[in-house]
Structure 1
């Protein structure tokens, strides 16, 4: 046939397409030509089988259209069908870092066009969780006195995720730019095949040659790559329509047509048998995905069968399809029940967080305990699984608000705590100043109690800001240690001196054993006083060696006893020795003051006793003076008067030292 003849024939076929389509549909209502269906024409209300409801028919149409649409998506980009094989993980339970790692893994191991749904799920979860963290950090920043306009937050995982997502967008754009060119070219090639199919009808050549050309066109159609999704059904329907027209054209050579019908029937029966096996498979999703492939083979790779088999095999295939699809719907219903339970669990967790917030906290330990409880509940919320899609955003919003409310309470507590800690910081800084101002003082008797006091006050003051705690403690400790190290150094030096004084006093004490006093009383007293001065000049001895002073006093008493001294004279010499010891003590005259108070008290006591005795004499007005009782009273008065004079002499000795 010449090109002109082919063109003329094409115009004739095109002009009759509408009529032919209408005739084909009316004459063969159960044939496999269809618009937006997998196999036969979609039945109209008038053509429904008796007893079949309108709802049932619409449900079947919806089921078949769903399979068609999925196959159309896969057909546009052949890599898309791999998406069914890629695991969809529980992204809502994963941390930000885990989400970033999963995105990187998908980009490295899978085709970029097959991971769209996975990336969308990851991206949604990442944005939700990141925004929750940003909101919390922002609230903390503002509560700490920051200006909202100055707030900025970023993290290494955020940068890592952005780089991975940017790579995904780049790879996806590059893929679809390349794919778009191929889709357009493939569409042109398939439209050209359709045109060539039209040209085969009523050709004036050997039917075997025409049939061979037809089979070649079918093979070219199968090998031609994907076309745009929105053109898929129209292109296929047009192709399928002209294939059927060609088979009608083959009525002139029934052997060839019947042979092809037989081949298609055998293949479609195998597809049906596989679909019936899948209907028994417990792995519902795997069975449904393979069912999609079977529908694609039925529709795209195989032609029609004999009229007597068309309705029967299609109904059988559709019945198996319905079983698989019903099991799939039941599977989703069970999933929905799980999602509802997950929702209940998440709502319980939210309620627990709200209860914790309502309880409040009055101490750092209490709020820290609640922080750990909320963190555990947050983790439990993320691990609770998915909830129904219709309430997902509302549940997430409620969860965020519960956590945000707790964080506000926590931040408010620590804001007040920081005020208290700042006040404590000022108090401790004042103690540091006191310690540093006095650490070099030599007035140990005054400063030592002061240093001990401020150390005690330091312990009573509460916490200060953590950033200042170690610093001020080291500063305070250094000042206190410096002061007490000086005291210890001085005490160590004094201890050596006192040990030496003890040794020398022992030597002096031993020398007193062989000391011979002058026979003259005054010279003897002077010699004893010289020994007392020598003893005092040696200084103090260690606290645990002070018994040596008692030994010395006893030795002096023994020496005084060898002299012809009256009792009061001897007592005054010993008392002068005692006063020398008291006056030498480094106690700001406290011992002398105490001694003076003691002497005054004794003088008052003696005076009181003398007055009492003199009052007693009045009872003896008519008694002779030589009465024994009267004599005893007079004698006691004399003894007390002598004692009074001795105490008065001692008081004068004390006054002379001031």
Structure 2
């Protein structure tokens, strides 16, 4: 059947390059024959043909359901097939993506292991099955009716032929002829293969009758005149259609006019037959030329759409060929691809011969992008699973430490766990919030306990500070008795009392300096040896460091003391070595005396530093 996708009209390209009028009319007759077979002209409906490629799977199902429920089966064939093509294309692309993702997540699986049930596909299959059942039932009903109608029309032809060949009174037979013509009009559609032959046969015998109708010329001429007037009106209407802006609509009406001309209007007088037909044929040719121009314009638009779609495919390929290394880059690329996909589906049709190739190129381009995207996120998923395990391990570590009261050793460990958490990347989204909430709750619980404990310590240390301030005020009234031992014991008691008061806040430790100045002044007033005073001061300093748990300064003090011991021992060795090189090194030699004096002074100093070192070692032993 020669038809156009949207209006079931003869294809302009399928007629003749010479615009032969007979060929055009033959094409119209052929179209009318087929439409006559499937439905009457009154069943022909104008149903908009949508761009189904723009619709989603659910929207396609909704449109298909609407057509099946509300439109005649004979009027929706092209719509249904276009919906089917668009649906299956989108569905197959969707399933391909799901299969690729399945095989990536299950590397040991086979393609045959993949199964995916999409409710939209089940609904489509059900709707399409309903349409086919309706179409088949309608087709069978039509075929049965066509055969009955054919038999009826052949019966009419036989009666007409018998009337023409066996009547002696043609004037009397006019009434019979009118009845046959009325029966012909209402006889209904017949198979398209018989359409032209049966019509030509009927009109051949009808014209024979009128040509032999010479006895009652007035009645015959009246009938001829009436037929001529009807055909002239058809020509007039066809001429008006030349001004119709909707060329498709005009050509469909032209088909109807040809059908009425052929099936419903009788012959005209011989002298008018050629002229009236030629007029109608000329208008038909002009409408065809306008339609052919429209088809050319449509073809140009389709060619333009083809260029646009190829450009879109090229852009998708360019994006697919880039290497993206971050989630944000991929998300931006995905958005770009979605924009291009939307543009592709909204661009409109391309020439039919290019449609399959264009769609395949588009599908290949998008699949290439999806494969690269899926590979990236497959690696991301593996990395995120590793990160998940690392963070779960940190949660377990934090949970194991969170109930400890050994804040001094646990707090640095907890802070390190928090720092390690920061340097671990993303985890799968479905675990992210719950895992973070659990980790945060554990850490908050621990540090809340720590802060509560520290607040208690700070309160106690502030009380110690206030007590030490008060003690300092009382120490101003302390007077030495003049007895060395009594005064030294009293000072030591003050040192012990001060130490027993306890530590003060970090920001208040200046009070220790004030106490040490008072001690220095008291030691200066005592007749203590320099060594004894130095050891007492050093002992007080070390006790203060121990009291404040200042292990770093204690360590530095030990290093310093050891270094001083090494330096003094080196000086003593050097001085003793120098004495050996002095000639006549007698004891009364002034130079020798001076060197020995220095050696003795250094040895006294060495004893002092060794006693300091011993105090440090005793402190370390007590700590152990």
Query: Deviation at 1:540?
Result: 1.0
Query: Deviation at 1:290?
Result: 1.3
- 2:63 is matched with 102
Q: 1:333 to 1:84 in 2, by over 3 A?
A: farther
- 2:90 is matched with 129
Q: Over residues 40-69 of structure 1, what are the superposed CA-to-partner deviations in whole Å (9 max), with x where a residue is unaligned?
A: xxxxxxxxxxxxxx9889944432222112
Contact 2:458/2:505, CA 8 A, preserved across alignment: yes
Query: Deviation at 1:265?
Result: 0.9
Q: Structure 1 stretch 404-413 or stretch 170-179: which is displaced more?
A: 170-179
- 2:513 is matched with 550
Distance in 2 separating the partners of 1:80 and 1:567: 132
* 3-state DSSP of counterpart to 2:363: helix
Distance in 2 separating the partners of 1:550 and 1:478: 43
Q: Structure 1 stretch 252-261 or stretch 603-612: which is displaced more?
A: 603-612
Distance in 2 separating the partners of 1:362 and 1:655: 59
Q: Over residues 387-406 of structure 1, what are the superposed CA-to-partner deviations in whole Å (9 max), with x where a residue is unaligned?
A: 11122112212222222222
Query: Deviation at 1:543?
Result: 0.5
Q: Over residues 316-364 of structure 1, what are the superposed CA-to-partner deviations in whole Å (9 max), with x where a residue is unaligned?
A: 2111111111222222122222222222222232233233333333333
Query: Deviation at 1:282?
Result: 4.2
RMSD: 3.6
Q: 1:600 aligns with which of 556, 562, 568?
A: 562
- 2:326 is matched with 363
Query: Deviation at 1:504?
Result: 2.1
- 1:18 is matched with none
Contact 1:353/1:377, CA 8 A, preserved across alignment: yes
- 1:313 is matched with 276
Distance in 2 separating the partners of 1:551 and 1:182: 123
- 2:135 is matched with 172
Contact 1:84/1:289, CA 8 A, preserved across alignment: no
| Corresponding position: 1:348 with 2:311 | yes
Distance in 2 separating the partners of 1:652 and 1:404: 80
Query: Deviation at 1:421?
Result: 3.6
Q: 1:86 aligns with which of 47, 56, 64?
A: 47
| Corresponding position: 1:118 with 2:79 | yes
- 1:409 is matched with 372
Contact 2:171/2:215, CA 8 A, preserved across alignment: no
Distance in 1 separating the partners of 2:372 and 2:617: 72
Q: 1:363 to 1:652 in 2, by over 3 A?
A: closer
Q: 1:218 aligns with which of 144, 161, 181?
A: 181
Query: Deviation at 1:259?
Result: 0.8
- 1:44 is matched with none
Query: Deviation at 1:102?
Result: 2.7
Query: Deviation at 1:97?
Result: 3.3
- 2:7 is matched with none
* 3-state DSSP of counterpart to 2:261: helix
Contact 2:303/2:350, CA 8 A, preserved across alignment: yes
In structure 2, runs of 5+ residues without a counterpart are 1-14
Matches of residues 514-593 of structure 1 in structure 2 within 5 Å? 514-515=477-478, 520-560=483-523, 563-587=526-550, 590-593=552-555
Query: Deviation at 1:489?
Result: 3.1
Task: Give the structure-1-normalised TM-score.
Answer: 0.81
Q: 1:364 to 1:493 in 2, by over 3 A?
A: same
Q: 1:288 aligns with which of 251, 261, 270?
A: 251
Q: 1:459 aligns with which of 405, 410, 422?
A: 422
Q: 1:310 to 1:530 in 2, by over 3 A?
A: same
Q: Over residues 402-440 of structure 1, what are the superposed CA-to-partner deviations in whole Å (9 max), with x where a residue is unaligned?
A: 222222222233333434444444444444444344434
Query: Deviation at 1:551?
Result: 2.0
Q: Structure 1 stretch 328-337 or stretch 75-84: which is displaced more?
A: 75-84
Q: Over residues 526-547 of structure 1, what are the superposed CA-to-partner deviations in whole Å (9 max), with x where a residue is unaligned?
A: 2322222222122211100111
* 3-state DSSP of counterpart to 2:216: helix
Distance in 2 separating the partners of 1:203 and 1:600: 151
Q: 1:384 to 1:501 in 2, by over 3 A?
A: same
- 1:36 is matched with none
Distance in 2 separating the partners of 1:592 and 1:385: 84
* 3-state DSSP of counterpart to 1:252: coil
Distance in 1 separating the partners of 2:554 and 2:472: 26
* 3-state DSSP of counterpart to 1:303: coil
In structure 1, runs of 5+ residues without a counterpart are 1-53
Q: 1:56 to 1:599 in 2, by over 3 A?
A: closer
Distance in 2 separating the partners of 1:351 and 1:560: 94
Distance in 1 separating the partners of 2:292 and 2:461: 102
Contact 1:73/1:80, CA 8 A, preserved across alignment: no
Contact 1:91/1:99, CA 8 A, preserved across alignment: yes
Q: 1:221 to 1:637 in 2, by over 3 A?
A: same
Distance in 2 separating the partners of 1:438 and 1:620: 73
Distance in 2 separating the partners of 1:241 and 1:482: 106
Matches of residues 317-396 of structure 1 in structure 2 within 5 Å? 317-396=280-359
Contact 1:285/1:328, CA 8 A, preserved across alignment: yes
- 1:76 is matched with 37
* 3-state DSSP of counterpart to 1:302: coil
Q: Structure 1 stretch 618-627 or stretch 444-453: which is displaced more?
A: 618-627
Contact 1:275/1:291, CA 8 A, preserved across alignment: yes
Q: Structure 1 stretch 165-174 or stretch 295-304: which is displaced more?
A: 165-174
Distance in 2 separating the partners of 1:171 and 1:372: 43
Q: 1:480 to 1:73 in 2, by over 3 A?
A: same
Contact 1:92/1:386, CA 8 A, preserved across alignment: no
